[in-house]
Structure formats: C-alpha cells, structure tokens
Structure 1
Amino acid sequence: MIEKVRNMSCVDCRFAPACVTVRTRNLCENCFIRFLQTKVLRRMERYRLRNAPKDRQRKLILPLSYGVSSLALLHIVSSLLLKQRTTGQKRTAFDLHVLIVDPVSLHPSKGAAASGRLAKIKEAYPDNTYSEVPLRSIFDYDPDIRGDISQHTGIPLGSNPSRSDEEILNLFRASFSTATARADIDGILLRRLIVAFAKSHKCDGILWGDSDSRLAAKTLANVAKGRGSSLVWNVCEGMSPWDIYFNFPLRDLYKSELEVYASYALRDLQQIIDQDPRNFEDLSNRHMSIEDLMSQYVLTQGAKYPGVMANIVRTVDKLTTPGVENAKMCILCRVPAGENLNAASGSQMDIGSNGGTTTVPRSTCYGCMRTLLDMKAPTSNSG
C-alpha cells in the first residue's frame, strides 16, 4: 500500500519532507527512488559487472510494452549502464537490446497512440539498441510456427501460397471464439516471438518487466486456464525450457509503487505510458478474459491486502521446476507437457465443443488443449 503524506520528515534521510508512505515508512522523493531502484538491482545480481565474463560482452533483451512497469525497468537499467560508462569503468556489465513488438500489430486501435513513442524512448536512452518488429515477424524468427498453425489447427495454409504472413496470423488469431482463448494465444505468440528473437541475437537472458502485481495476476489466470504445470516458467527466475535465462527484476515491487516511481523519475515520458483500464465494469463479459478478471482482482484486493498478493508469487517460487530433458514438448506453447500430454494412440483426437467438434492434436498440454477447444472454423476463404 502506498499513500501520499504531508508535514512529516523522511525516515531515511531525516531531512527532506516525506511525500509518500511506502510499506509503513515515510519517504521523501529521492529516498523513495533509491529504495525502489535498490530493489530492482538486487534482483539483477547475476549480471553485475564483477560477474561479467572476460572474453565477451553479455547481451540482455528487455521487451518494452510501453506500460509503466517495463518503462520503469528500462529507465533503471539504462541509468545503471550510463553510470558505469561515466564513472571511469572501461566496460558495462552488459549491452541492452530493447525489443518492441509493434502495438498496432496486436491491437490496431492503438495506431494513433503508438506513433512517435519509440523516437522519444531513443532520445531519452540513446545508448541502447532498439528493434521494433510486428507480430507477424514470428514467422521469420520461429520457423516452426507456420507448421504448428497449419498442421495442428486445421487451417489449410499451403492451399493458398499467395496469402501473406499477416493474413495467416490474423486468420489464426481470429479463429478463437472467446476473449480468454484469444488473450491466451496472443500471450503464447508473444513469448515465442520474444524468445526466438533473443536467441537469434545470441542474448544471455530476458529482463521481463512484470511487477509483483502482474505476476500474481498471471499466476491466478494460468491456474484458472489449466496451465499450472508451466507456472514456474511464467513467474520464476531461472533457465527456461528454451535455453535462455528469464529474469523478473520487478518481482518485489507492486504496480502502485511503480506508478508513483514513474510520476517522479519519468516525468518527461508520462505522455507515452500506456494506462491500464481502471474501470473494468466498462468491459462486457464477452470481451473480458480471465486475465482481465484476475488483473481486476489483484488491483482491487491488492490495495487492501498487499501481503496476500505477494504471497501468491512467493508460493510459486517454492514449486519444483519440472525436468525438461527428454520431456515431450507441447507443440503450441512449447513447454514440457508432462503428465498432461494425452498418451493415447494416434496423432489427433476429436472433442465436442461449442458449435461442433474440434480436432485437437494429442501432443498438446492441458492448457493448450482447452484453448484449442475454443477454435472455430476460419471465416476467411481458405483458397
């Protein structure tokens, strides 16, 4: 819980007037910024300069969504690297590559809001490398995705070679009948694209900009969707099944704390920050996914019981990471399917769903099987 305060002194420096109460402590602006940045940097001990290899320069990917969390992380990491460059050190701990998946390729309605934002980011943090790619570039970085869409979802792509990658992807995404299934498949595509991009650029790890609040919502949503077996790789730090390290430097911070931090440290970038919808009641049930419901729950209940939300993520940290050696991987989300993998004979199974029968490949995990059950026949002419 974070609150604005007046007429009190900062408990850290004992000189400046306090402006916020953070976890029962009254802090001034500078001490609050230092408190938050220290939390993040402690989570990045793995990438300290003293731990850097001597024979090469490490490279990390930071996916930027223009949300307050990923922008705060970009600011903190960029400030760290700038300090290393300007204090006489001969090298930085790592190179930072910022990846933006074009928001318009995910949500065309964001076209006007998205224009010009990358230029402002580059101006603010000019020393980083930047790449902006559309979602359809997943076909370039993950060559298996075309076969997965065609072979395992029944969309006959090969019968119309003139169809563009964007048309193929839009047809696939539009074939899901519920908001939850569409959000789930978009999350899978985004992760596959980011991981494939990072590996193609020989990166050592990915810095995910997920706050504790976001991780708690993801945990609850994944359990509700039947993806409990893959929670560890969605929430916890460590080596992923795709041979690249996952880091969550913001996992000790609440979304509300990052919003206050951004109001102090990112004053010049306030106009480009994507604002989360606060009034979920404006969304109809038809357009609300499980992710939206869990985000709403964490947003409302987290303000009252922040410790409970934090315990959700800490509990997942205690889970044992499933082994990936010799494990059968789900053909869609590419996580070890484990015991959820249907072991019956044959390569596909037909399961009744709303509106008819859906053919689901047997090499899918339970979560993907549930998502694929929401597929409907493609509405576009398959040629």
Structure 2
Amino acid sequence: MAQAQTRLACQASAAQDYSRIEGSFVITFSRENVYRAQAKSRPKMTANPCVDCREREATLTIRNRRLCSVCFTSYVHSKILKRMGSYGLKNLPGEQKRRLFLPLSGGLSSLVLLQVLDFQLQKQIANRNKTTYDIVVARVVLPDELDSRSIKSDYEALAGRFATQTFLPLLDLHEVLRLDHQVERDLKELGIVRHDGEADQNFFLRIMHCSTSATAASDVQSILLKRLLVAVARDQGCENVLWGHSDTRLAALALADVAKGRGGSVSSSIADGQTLQGVDFNYPLRDLFKAELQTYARASSEPILETTVEQDIPVGQPTNIRSTAIDSLLNTYITSQGEKYPSIMANVVRTASKLEARRPADNATACPVCLMPVMGTQGLLNRNSGLCYGCERMRQDMVP
C-alpha cells in the first residue's frame, strides 16, 4: 500500500514538472512570435540614412549633409518661405490681400520661386480657404530671344499649370517707352533723343544700337528691363517685386556692378527692402545656390521644372572676351566657381549687402537713368551731371 502511494506521488510530481516545462515552452514560444512580429513591423535600418529624418535613404549631399529627396525639398521650401515671412497671416493688413509681382526670366530660378509660392498658396486655401497675397506674373521677351513662338507656347503652358495666379500678356522690351512715362525724358541724360514722328519700336532699336561696347549695350538693356518691370508692377498695384535671383546670381550681379563702376549702389541693388522706384524689392532665393535649385528641379515631381533644368545648359567660356559684356563674363565665372566654392560666393553677397546702411529716403537722390541712389558728388566723373558714376561711364561708350 505504501509503495503504491509513493508511486502515485511520484507520478503526480512528474506530471506537475512536465506541465511547468510545457507552460514555460509555450510562453517562450509565444514571446518569440511577438519578437518576430515586432521585428517585421519595425522599419529596416538603412545603410546611409538621411541626417534629418533618419528613416529614408540619403541620396543627396547638400552643404556637406546627406539628405533624402523629401527632406531636401522641405529644406528648399523653408529657405524660400522664411524670406516670405513678412507676407504671412500675422502681417496681413485687415482683410486686404497684398499683390506681389513676380517676373519670369525664362530660366530655372524664377520658375522654382513661382512653384514654391504657388504650393504655399494652395496649402493656405486648403487650410483656411483664403490666401495672404496674390501673385502677378509677367514675362518680357528680350531682343536676342528670337524663338518667340516657343516662348509663347511655354508661357501659356505655365499659365495653365499655375491657373490660380494672374498671368499678364507677354511683353516686348520696347514697351518700356509706353509704360514708363519718364524714361524718354531720362534718356536725354545719355544724349538719346527721339526723332519727330519716330515710332516706339524704331526708337528702341536705335537706343539698343548706339552703344559702342558689349558692356554698355548689356547695361542699357538691363536698365530698361528693370524700369519696364517696375512700371508694370506699379501699374498692377503691386507693392513688391519678387526677383528670382539665387545667391549665385546675386554674387555675379554684385561683382559686375563693381567692375562697371556701380559699386556705390551695389548694396541697394541686391538687398531686400525699400527702393527709390516706388516698390520694394525682395529676393526670396538669396539663401540658395543655383546648383541647389538645379538639384531641386531634378528631384521634384514637377514636369515643368524637370524640362527647364534640362534646357539650362551651362554657358562655356567665350572665345572673344573683348566682345563679351562684363555681366556675361562674371556670370559664367561665378556659376562655374560657385559649384566649387559655394561659401565664398555666399560671403560676396553678405558682404555687399552690408556695405552701407540701406535707407535711400534719408539723403539719397536717384540717378535719372538707372534710378539707383547717388550719395553726394564724391567720385562722380562729372559733378555737374545728375548721373551716377556707372551711368556716366556708360554714356562715354555710347554714340547717339
């Protein structure tokens, strides 16, 4: 009897031990399943993660930082929209929206600016059902742009793509004589006078052919272009002109102005804020290099940007430097060197913007031709003339 009881006790103990072992195995097996499921749901670690999101694969190197295309797009948008902060909802004067003028050049930079601002406005409509500003877009056809049909077709495609923005009809540069009511009077300072009964287009062609150097001809065209765009902006009731100049472009403009004798007004020509022309200037792309805008266009899903960047072929070194304008020479040089030394180009713009306090309303008068500030008479070629030093030098290279 005692042996039977002992045998039963041993069997019961063995059964309990087996049950504990089996339960432990089941628990362990269940935990392993949970761990496997968690491992499958957890995102895989990439070998080269983006330094911002740490999730996606880094495919771009931007200013020594490895970024994915999504974070790089956010980077470009933030750089531009930061410069547009003064046109936000907090600074909106009552219910009245601002009108901002955005001239397109046919290149990539101004097109990127339009695309980013349009994206912001579409988000404002989706979130608040209203926008803080309206964009008025214009495009001027320059005399050396011969393929007018292609320009018109591309411009109409842009108007269809950004249909919520206001697109003005294409403008010819000679229309500055019609829209800027002071330009004909101011050209007399250069010795250029309209003949009796001379049509606008004929007068304009004579203006463009009276320069004896490529630099003077380029200077005259740039001045007339800016005056035309400012006149259109005023006519449309716009309070600000949004120039699509990248940091690379601003550096080239600053150095070209210095080389042409316009160094005294270089800070006024590339800085944000007030001008003597009746509208404010703003450069929202000033914190981005041209190479970065090209990368943005290739990484975007915007077909118009992709097409434009493929057509944006770098201009090679000119074969005849003497017949090339200073603006073109420096633009080619800065564009090529900016890819190698971007920080140096950024320093050019920052330094030029700080050369003087930019408050033209204090004691500055405007040059009657370029409309840039003239501070006193020091350094002028002709103190009896109202022209700035740069325009006085330009006049010496002109035969009306």
Please state which band the TM-score falls in when normalised by the shorter chain. 0.7 to 0.9
The answer to whether structure 1 residue 42 and structure 2 residue 65 are counterparts is: no
Q: Map Cα deviations across residues 39-71 of structure 1 (whole Å, 9 max, x no partner).
A: 111111111122111141110001111211100
Q: Map Cα deviations across residues 301-339 of structure 1 (whole Å, 9 max, x no partner).
A: 222211111011111222222543454321211122222
Distance 1:22 1:164, change over 3 A: same
Contact 2:266 2:352 in 1 (8 A): yes
> Counterpart of 2:180 in structure 1: which amino acid?
D
> Counterpart of 1:334 in structure 2: which amino acid?
L
Partner of 1:134: 172
Partner of 1:376: 399
Partner of 1:335: 372
Partner of 1:258: 293
Contact 1:96 1:128 in 2 (8 A): yes
- Which has the higher mean CA deviation after the structures are superposed, 110-119 or 181-190? 110-119
Equivalent of residue 342 in structure 2, options 293, 306, 309: 306
> Counterpart of 1:250 in structure 2: which amino acid?
L
Where structure 1 has 5 or more consecutive residues not aligned to the other structure, the ranges are 1-5, 346-361, 378-383
The answer to whether structure 1 residue 14 and structure 2 residue 54 are counterparts is: yes
Where structure 2 has 5 or more consecutive residues not aligned to the other structure, the ranges are 1-45
Q: Map Cα deviations across residues 134-172 of structure 1 (whole Å, 9 max, x no partner).
A: 1122122211112223x2233341x330x2211111110
Equivalent of residue 280 in structure 1, options 308, 313, 316: 316
- Is the partner of 1:116 in helix, strand or coil? helix
Partner of 1:119: 156
Distance 1:273 1:27, change over 3 A: closer
- Is the partner of 2:100 in helix, strand or coil? strand
Contact 2:381 2:392 in 1 (8 A): no
Q: Map Cα deviations across residues 278-317 of structure 1 (whole Å, 9 max, x no partner).
A: 2422442244211112112212222221111101111122
Q: Within 5 Å, which residues of 2 pair with 1:1-383?
A: 8-87=48-127, 89-102=128-141, 105-131=142-168, 132-149=170-187, 151-157=188-194, 159-161=195-197, 163-265=198-300, 267-269=302-304, 270-272=306-308, 275-319=311-355, 320-321=357-358, 323-325=360-362, 327-338=364-375, 339=377, 340-341=379-380, 344=383, 362-377=385-400
> Counterpart of 2:389 in structure 1: which amino acid?
Y
Contact 2:108 2:312 in 1 (8 A): no
- Is the partner of 2:138 in helix, strand or coil? strand
Q: Greater share of helix residues, 1 or 2? A: 2
Contact 2:298 2:309 in 1 (8 A): no
- Is the partner of 1:63 in helix, strand or coil? strand
Name which one, 1 or 2, has greater alpha-carbon Rg: 2
- For the residues of structure 2 that align with 1:145 and 1:126, how far apart are their CA atoms? 33
- Is the partner of 1:241 in helix, strand or coil? coil
- For the residues of structure 2 that align with 1:147 and 1:363, how far apart are their CA atoms? 13
| Aligned-pair Cα RMSD in Å | 2.1
- Is the partner of 2:139 in helix, strand or coil? strand
- For the residues of structure 1 that align with 2:387 and 2:97, how far apart are their CA atoms? 38
Distance 1:294 1:344, change over 3 A: closer
- Is the partner of 1:239 in helix, strand or coil? coil
Q: Map Cα deviations across residues 60-86 of structure 1 (whole Å, 9 max, x no partner).
A: 001111211100000000110011112
- For the residues of structure 1 that align with 2:193 and 2:278, how far apart are their CA atoms? 31
User: Post-superposition shift, 1:265?
Assistant: 2.3
- For the residues of structure 1 that align with 2:231 and 2:149, how far apart are their CA atoms? 28
Contact 1:342 1:363 in 2 (8 A): no
Distance 1:165 1:7, change over 3 A: farther
Distance 1:374 1:343, change over 3 A: closer
Distance 1:343 1:278, change over 3 A: closer
Percent identity over paired residues: 35
- For the residues of structure 2 that align with 1:314 and 1:91, how far apart are their CA atoms? 35
What TM-score, normalized to structure 2?
0.82
> Counterpart of 1:100 in structure 2: which amino acid?
R
User: Post-superposition shift, 1:178?
Assistant: 1.4
Contact 1:324 1:336 in 2 (8 A): no
- Is the partner of 1:21 in helix, strand or coil? strand
Contact 1:175 1:375 in 2 (8 A): yes
- Which has the higher mean CA deviation after the structures are superposed, 76-85 or 136-145? 136-145
What TM-score, normalized to structure 1?
0.86
- Which has the higher mean CA deviation after the structures are superposed, 219-228 or 325-334? 325-334
- Is the partner of 1:107 in helix, strand or coil? coil
- For the residues of structure 2 that align with 1:282 and 1:326, how far apart are their CA atoms? 42
